Amino acid sequence: MEWQITDRQFTIRIRTPRELHFWIKTIAMVTCCDFILRIQHYFWPIIPNEVADVVLNLYYIFFILGIYITINYFKKPRKVIINFDSGTFRYFYFLASRKYYFAEVECIRIATDMSKALTKLKGNMYHRVYLKLRKQSFLFLGEFDDDQQLNLFINELRNVFDVHVDKLHKVGRKLSKEVRLGRYTIEKEISRGGMGKVFLARDDFMQKAVAIKVLPANLALKYDHANNFARETRILQKLRHPNIIQIYDVGREKGKKTDIYFYAMECIHGKPLSFFIKEKAITIEQSVRYAIQLSLALDYIHSHKVVHRDIKPENILIRNEGSCVLIDFGIARDISIRYKKIYKRVFRHQPEISHHVGTLPYMSPEQISAHHDIDYRTDIYSLGITLYEMLVFKRAFTGNSATILRAIPTSTPTPPSKENPRVPQSLDTIVMKAIAKNKNKRYQSGALLANDLHNWLHDIVVEKQQLNLWQSLSQKFLHFFQG
């Protein structure tokens, strides 16, 4: 669609799909009739030649007229002259290129089609823009799948016509002002990932904003995705912590082919940690404070036999008041004894609970290697890599996927103080211990990591490394003779 607005003239290529579809259907119908007449006339010559000639002439007339209409439709922009005083405009009608028609605009209508957004993971919300005229007629202007282009176009239209905007939503053939999932009214899409989409919604019962995570219908048909979604909801329902996203409700909505599964969670007013890292808008002290909060959150979920397996800046939200929240438990795993037995016996070959899940630059060495069991210490490693990135504003491992895959088990990142001189060397000790290749040499719990970070924050010296038995006895022996 091409459009341009000046002071007194509004030039636009107005699309009228109903008229175009009518002529296409007419040509198709006449073509079918012509084909049937030719077949019957050849095999069963009972139709007079005069009738066949008339049908052929009509076919040629409609065909030429259809070509003419199609060319005009695609190539000829029409001008709309605005009368600001009366609130009317005149425009070229579709078939009468030299004739002007007057119309009064009542409102601008935006019909948002939510069908693909709710049923397909990669489907977008399409916005169709109409001008509502007198006598309840609508003039179709175009279709947008980009919110910025839509808002720009709508603002220009409002400046020209000075009318209100009527927003409607569409699911399937139903057109309404609201799209609902249970007691929740969908407003807009916030984000999407491999396990579903997240929408901003309004809880009509509690009268507050919530975030709705939806498993699109095309994924609900697959057992693996439906099972992962159910596991995620079960994990979130048993977690209650100020630094973990809180789930409110779980629901299911009837669909045409399959049901739409969703759950409602708290709406976080803030931005992801990745935004602050990209903008370099985070201090060393803030980084340590966020790492303490996340360490305590990890210690809590590990006490409930849950491993997150996807700790990264994109899955950490910073509230406007300053606290952080851990989100997206889509690939989290329950490592309770009962589940572990089932995993070893039945599900060890299923991809959704295999080692190779997560985000590659933040995966631990044991996540990459299939020869080591994954436990809670993989989250400690990922948090250490995230803290490293907060301190130096770049990832610990860079390059393509193959390079990172080789580097994680073998290469040790440069200490943060070497990358950023403002990072104290005493903080290197904590970070490098958290990202140790051997999981037995890392912090064995989130509480221990939080304790060392807290001590560093309050100027308490942290030992560079844990002494072994021989070093400990040597120190005691030396102190005994010196004392």
Residue by residue, DSSP assigns 286-355 as HHHHHHHHHHHHHHHHHHTTEE----SGGGEEEETTS-EEE---TT-EE--HHHHHHIIIIITT-GGGSS
> Tell me, what's the pLDDT at 316?
96
> Tell me, what's the pLDDT at 44?
52
> Tell me, what's the pLDDT at 483?
45
> Tell me, what's the pLDDT at 368?
87
Q: Is 204 a catalytic residue?
A: no
Question: What is the mean pLDDT, run by run of 10 residues, along the chain of 483 residues?
Answer: 42 47 64 67 60 69 68 52 56 47 70 68 70 70 76 79 74 58 83 80 89 81 80 91 94 74 92 94 95 96 94 95 92 69 44 61 88 85 97 94 92 94 94 94 95 89 52 52 46
Contacts of 435 (CB under 8 A, 6+ apart): 381, 384, 385, 388, 396, 413, 442
Contact status, residue 440 vs residue 366, Cβ threshold 8 Å:
no
> Tell me, what's the pLDDT at 127?
78
Please name the amino acid found at residue 16. T
Sheet holding 324-326: strands in order across? 270-272, 316-319, 324-326
Q: Where are the extended beta strands (E) located within 42-158?
A: 78-83, 88-92, 100-113, 126-133, 138-144
Contact status, residue 201 vs residue 186, Cβ threshold 8 Å:
yes
Q: Can you tell me which residue has the tokens 């404070």? A: 289
CA dihedral for 44, 48, 53, 55, sign (positive or negative): negative
Beta strand pairing call for 165-171 and 100-113: parallel
The tokens for 35 are 């084909």
Contacts of 309 (CB under 8 A, 6+ apart): 331, 332, 333, 357, 358, 367, 374, 378, 379, 382
Closest CA to 155 of 265, 1, 5: 5
CA 229-231-233 angle, to 5 degrees, is 70
Please name the amino acid found at residue 80. V
- Rounded to whole angstroms, the Cα distance separating 132 from 379 reads 55
The tokens for 325 are 């929240």
Catalytic residue among 310, 328, 428, 452: 310
Beta strand pairing call for 174-176 and 126-133: unpaired
Closest CA to 327 of 198, 434, 446, 447: 198
Contact status, residue 222 vs residue 283, Cβ threshold 8 Å:
no
> Tell me, what's the pLDDT at 371?
61
CA 409-224-350 angle, to 5 degrees, is 40
Cα dihedral 286→287→293→294 (10° resolution):
160
Instruction: Assign 188 to helix, strand or coil.
Output: strand
- Rounded to whole angstroms, the Cα distance separating 452 from 448 reads 6
Contact status, residue 343 vs residue 351, Cβ threshold 8 Å:
no
Phi, psi dihedral angles at 394 (to 5 degrees): -155, 160
Q: What domains, with CATH codes, occur in the chain?
A: 3-176 (no CATH), 196-267 (3.30.200.20), 270-483 (1.10.510.10)
